[in-house]
Amino acid sequence: MFTATPQVRRKARTEAAARTFFALMAAAMVVPLLAIVGYVVYRGWPVLSWTFLTTNPTHGGTQGGIWSALVGTIYVVFLSLAISAPIGVLAAVYLNEYAKDTWFTRVVNLAVVNLAGVPSIVHGLFGVGAFVYFLNVNGGKKSILAAALTLAVMTLPVIVASTKEALASVPVAFREACWNVGATRWQTIRRIVLPNSISGILTGVILQVSRTAGETAPVMLTGVTTWKMIEQTGLFLYHPITDQCMALSMHLYYIQTQASGAPKALPFAIAAVLIGAVLVVNAASIAVRVALRSRRKW
C-alpha cells in the first residue's frame, strides 16, 4: 500500500486551489452575461410578444412594435457582410499564401491591426466623408449602402485577421504534399487549404454580425434614421439600398434618450431582441464550426 507523503498532499492541495481559482474565473465571465440577459428580459417581458416583433412603431416610436427597425438592421448587417467578407477573405489568402515577408506586407499587417482598434465613431465620421460626400453614393444623402460600406470597413480587419489564423492552422505538410504531385499554388489553396480552414473562416465572418448589429454611431451618421416605416408584406422584406432605414440600435438610443411617454419596458424589450438576435447568430456560428470540424480527417 502506498501512502501519500506530505509533499504529495501539499501538491494536491495546490492543484485543488488552482482548479478552484480558474473555475471561478470562468464563472466570472459567464455570470455577468447571464445577469445582464436575465435583467433585460425581465424588465422587457411585459412588452415582448410576436406582435411586438411584427408590427411597425407608432406614435413616434413610443408604441407599437419594432418591425421596421428589425428589417433595417437585417439589411444593413448582411449587406455589410456581403461587401466585407469576400474582400477580407481574399486579402487574407493573399497575405498568408502568396505574399512574401517584405516591408509592404509588414505595413499591411500593421495597418490591419491598427484599423481594428479604431473607435466606431471615427469609422462613422470616415463613412460620412468617404461614402456620403466624396463618393456621393446617393447624391450626397445618407443611405443603407453608405452605412453598409462604413460597417464593412469597420469589420474588414477582424475578418482578415480571423481568416489568416484559420489558413495558418492548416499544416504546411498538406501544401507540400500537393506541390510534390505537381499541383499549382491556387489548386492547393482551392482544394486543400480553404476546405480545411472553412470552419474558422465562417466563424470569424458570422461573429461580425454581433458587432455590426449593435453599432449605433457609424450607422446613425451614414444611413439610419429615427423614423422610416416599411410595408408589412409577410416574408417579403424590401428596402432600396439608396434609401434610409431604421435600426434596432438607433431605435433603442432614440427611445431611451429623446422619446417621451414611452413605456419603461420598451427600451428593455428592444435590447432583449437585439441581444437575442446576436445570441442566435453566435449559436449558429458555433453549430457550423462544430459540424465542419467534425469532417476533418486530421
Cα(37)–Cα(31) distance, rounded to whole angstroms? 10
Distances (CA, A) of 239 to 144, 230, 232, 244, 278: 8, 8, 12, 8, 22
Residue 22: pLDDT band (50, 70, 90) is very high
* Per-residue pLDDT tens digits for 140-171: 788 888 999 999 999 998 899 889 988 988 88
CATH number of 65-293: 1.10.3720.10
Q: What type of residue is 223? A: G
Q: What is the pTM of this model?
A: 0.85
Residues in the chain, how many?
A: 298
Whether the per-residue pLDDT at 1 is higher than 70: the answer is no
User: Helix H segments across the chain?
Assistant: 6-44, 50-54, 67-93, 103-116, 120-127, 144-168, 172-180, 185-188, 194-214, 217-222, 248-257, 265-293
Contact 238, 230 (CB under 8 A): yes
Cα(286)–Cα(279) distance, rounded to whole angstroms? 10
Cα(47)–Cα(277) distance, rounded to whole angstroms? 17
Parse the chain into domains and list their residue ranges: 65-293
Q: Which three cell numbers stand for residue 295?
A: 469532417
* Per-residue pLDDT tens digits for 40-55: 999 999 988 888 888 8
Residues facing 245 on adjacent strands: 224
Residue 298: pLDDT band (50, 70, 90) is low
Contact 57, 279 (CB under 8 A): no
